[in-house]
Structure 1
Amino acid sequence: MAEWVRLGLDIGRFDDATFDPRGVVIARLADKWAGMSATSLGADQGVAFSDMTGVLRPYRGGGLSLA
């Protein structure tokens, strides 16, 4: 079973052909998720895209999404 499915993250974006789990970064504080960022690679275009970045409300404003 894919790791993101095991974690309960089985959403449509992960079925996209450009999705690569190596482009997902998860920020954790102890055993809780604080935020995440996902990227995809347009290899045929020679570019990378930031698909989404999110930080949970208690951790916003501290520069986490800039890391």
Structure 2
Amino acid sequence: MILIDSNIPMYLVGTDDERHLAAHHAVTAARDTGMALVTDAELYQEVLHRYTAIDRPEAIAPASGCSTA
């Protein structure tokens, strides 16, 4: 079991290509090993705090793994 820290989903929806690719590769590699990827309520709180603080509420759902459709 691998705990996904809040920086991983934020890098996945962010604009920094280097960090986005590194996060994508890390998640893909972990998934491919069959390890369970888990998170907790603290991650969601950090995502809410960060994207509210920088006035990017549209990034909350994607970084939280929520569908907007």
Calculate the TM-score normalised by the size of structure 1.
Answer: 0.24
TM-score (norm 2): 0.24
